[in-house]
Amino acid sequence: MTSLTSPRSTKPRSPLGSATNRGVVYVLAAVLALLASSCSDPVDPADQLASSTPPDPAPAETTTTVLRVDVVPSVLASMTNEQKVGQLLMPVLSGRDANAVSDAEVAENLAATGLRTPAEIVERYQLGGVIYLPGNIDSAEQVRTLSSDLQRVAESSSGIGLLVAVDQEGGRVNRITDQVTVFPSAEDLAGDIDAVLEASYITGQQLQRQGFNVVLAPVADVVDATERGFIGDRSYGTDPQVVADMVAASISGLQQAGVAAAAKHWPGHGATAIDSHQDLPFLDIDRAEWEARERVPFEAAIAENVAIVLVGHLAMPDLDATSDPATVSPVLIEQLLRSEMGYDGVVMTDALNMGAVSGYDEGELVVQAVLAGADIMLVPPDLEAAKSALEEAVVSGRIPQEHLDAAVTRVLRLKQDLGVLRSSR
The catalytic residues are: 277, 350
Of 31, 27, 4, nearest to 15 (Cα)? 27
* C-beta separation of 142 from 394 below 8 A: no
- Burial annotation 333-367 (CB, 10 A radius, 16+ → b, else e): bbbbbbeebebbbbbbbbbbbbebbeebebbebbb
Spatial distance between the Cα atoms of 204 and 220, rounded to a whole number of angstroms: 18
Number of neighbours of residue 147 by Cβ within 10 angstroms: 23
How far apart (Å, rounded) are the C-alpha atoms in residues 312 and 220? 11
> Minimal CA–CA distance to 351: which of 405, 295, 312?
312
- In sequence order, what are the residues at sequence separation of 6 or more whose Cβ sits closer than 8 angstroms to the Cβ of residue 46? none
d(CA 287, CA 299): 15
